[in-house]
């Protein structure tokens, strides 16, 4: 899914995201995918917030609010904050986080693992558009999801 939304309350606050609208890019991982999650940007981990919850199918929109999840905010050296959420799915039932507040991470660095059939939501700030299409297969550490401050004009649905 790619949609415009307010960030979840767990990503908000002094160390989190503001209450403006973000572009949410949801990346679903089937039970056959690798479930290592990587930092979308280089920066300092400002916030980590765990939320217990249900284990609904992770490709459902309501999984963002109902399922067990781990929220992480990373702030770049330029002060831009990117939030992302690890969401447990129907089969997963376990989220492991490899970072804690205050850690410095590199773009593409492993920050966690979800076991299995899960999803990651990435919240892009205003003026940043996704560089992926609906249905496109993302490869961790390789696929560029977005470019900060750039609003690319992508049209279509990947097959």
Q: Which residues are catalytic?
A: 118
Strand partners, 17: 12
Look up residue 106 and give its two tokens: 């590199």
User: CA end-to-end span of the chain, whole Å?
Assistant: 14
The three-state DSSP-derived secondary structure of 30-79 is: CCCCCCEEECCCCEEEEEEEEECCECCCCCCCCHHHHECEEEEEEECCCC
């Amino acid at each position: 899914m790619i949609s415009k939304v307010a960030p979840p309350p767990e990503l908000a606050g002094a160390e989190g995201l503001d209450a403006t609208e973000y572009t949410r890019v949801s990346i679903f991982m089937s039970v056959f995918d690798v479930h290592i999650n990587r930092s979308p940007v280089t920066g300092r981990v400002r916030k980590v917030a765990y939320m217990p919850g249900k284990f609904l199918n992770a490709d459902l929109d309501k999984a963002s609010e109902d399922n067990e999840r781990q929220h992480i905010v990373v702030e770049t050296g330029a002060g831009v904050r990117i939030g992302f959420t690890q969401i447990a799915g129907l089969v997963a039932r376990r989220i492991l986080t490899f970072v804690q507040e205050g850690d410095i991470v590199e773009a593409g660095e492993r920050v966690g693992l979800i076991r299995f059939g899960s999803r990651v939501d990435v919240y892009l700030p205003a003026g940043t558009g996704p560089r992926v299409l609906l249905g496109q297969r993302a490869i961790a550490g390789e696929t560029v999801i977005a470019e900060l401050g750039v609003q690319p004009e992508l049209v279509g649905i990947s097959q």
